[in-house]
Copies of this chain bind each other. A is one copy, B any other.
Amino acid sequence: MPNTFGKLFRITTWGESHGGGVGVVIDGCPPNLPLSVEEIQAELDRRRPGQSDITTPRKEADKVVILSGLYEGKTTGTPLSMMVQNKDQRPEAYEEMKAKYRPSHADYTYQTKYGIRNPEGGGRSSARETIGRVAAGAIAKKILRLAGKVEVTAYVSRIHDIEMPEIRTAPSLEMIEATAVRCPHPETADKMIERIKAVRSEGDSVGGLIECRIGNVPIGLGAPVFDRLEADLGKAMLSLPATKGFEIGSGFGGTLLKGSEHNDLFEVRDGSIRTKTNRSGGVQGGISNGEEIYFRVAFKPTATILQAQETVDKAGNETELIGRGRHDPCVVPRAVPIVESMAALVLVDHWMRQEAQNRCFSFEE
């Protein structure tokens, strides 16, 4: 159950960073969706380590295969099983990690919770787990696009203390992908890249913020009271490794306004009921109101650093651990497609739920 996400469009991820591979099973995918393995690979390539000179130099090809659920290029409504084999395994690199708990990693908590853990590459807590999310998210994004031109766009808005100027509309994918750091503001992107290279040279790491904007959202997605759209988006984002915060619309800053300043007044625009402002972030009473959904996610600095750190070993003795080898000084740029994927999964799921409850039957006595 903890490895499953969604209620109707339901994904189950599996796999550790070492062992046979990582993968995902999608249950509930609508049939007759045209789908090719290349479309999924394209998204995985955005997540892949080694894609640029600011990520880890680990080379992971991450070639995905679709094992089931597809027939003559279309989904059949049966489970889609997708898998990426593990490669480039160097178990010897993990000898020290078997015995010593890495600070701010999951080593200690996994060991205590389960009484056992796969220490190689972080095992299940490895970021490789997100491969399954991105593969599933690629399909969710395609469904949204085909079904209603819904576009999910994420980008890096801050790295460490370097922040891009505020924008009001979603940037194009081209602008985002133009730089290795996935910040659509070129000057800021340059500074971010510089900062990442600087901390890497120190064997240190940085975090940052990802902003996500979703346009053309149908009105009515989200289900009061516990499954508010922002609650499910928040859960989706906080389920990602290294996230520490989530805010939607006006967010934390909105608490500094008075009600008279914060409320989104309604108006009629182009024949539709719209809000003049969008401090709600596209969601009111837990339900999408047709305005752009936008939210921000905080990623802490990568826990793995190439410096000596005090820690404790499995036997309970204080010791020291020095990070070695290939290391990602900043995971935020690679997290962009993951944020998009999780957002798309939430939206597809709620769209199906809306259809089931509110469009299935029409009653005339």
Q: Which of B68, B71, B124 contacts A224 (CB 8 A)?
A: B124
Q: List A220-236 residues whose CB lies under 8 Å from chain B.
A: 220, 222-228, 230-236
Of B116, B160, B355, B361, which one neighbours A143 at CB under 8 angstroms? B361
- 11-28 of chain A: CB within 8 A of chain B: 12-16, 19-23, 25, 27-28
Chain B residues near A361 (CB-CB < 8 A): 30, 33, 143, 146-147, 351
Query: 16 A–B contact pairs at CB < 8 A?
Result: A2-B226, A4-B226, A14-B79, A20-B67, A30-B357, A30-B361, A103-B264, A104-B284, A109-B288, A112-B219, A113-B220, A208-B255, A231-B239, A234-B246, A259-B301, A276-B310
> Contact between B220 and A109 (Cβ–Cβ < 8 Å)?
yes
Beta-carbon contact of B285 and A32 below 8 Å: no
Q: Is A311 an interface residue (CB 8 A)?
A: yes
Question: With A33-B363, A300-B250 known to touch, is A311 a contact of B116 (CB < 8 Å)?
Answer: no
Interface residues on A, range: 35 or more
Contacts of A116 in B (CB 8 A): 31-32, 71, 74-77
Contact with B along A62-102 (1 / 0, CB 8 A): 00011111110011111111010000000000000000010
| Residue in B28, B124, B220, B254 whose CB lies within 8 Å of A78 | B124
A308 CB → nearest B CB, Å: 10
Closest to A327 in B: B259
Instruction: State whether A235 touches B231 (Cβ < 8 A).
Output: yes
Interface assignment of A197: CB less than 8 Å from any CB of chain B = no
Does any Cβ of B come within 8 Å of A365's Cβ? yes
Shortest CB distance A365–B (Å): 5
Cβ distance A363 to chain B, nearest Cβ, rounded Å: 5
| A205 contacts chain B at the CB level, 8 A cutoff | yes
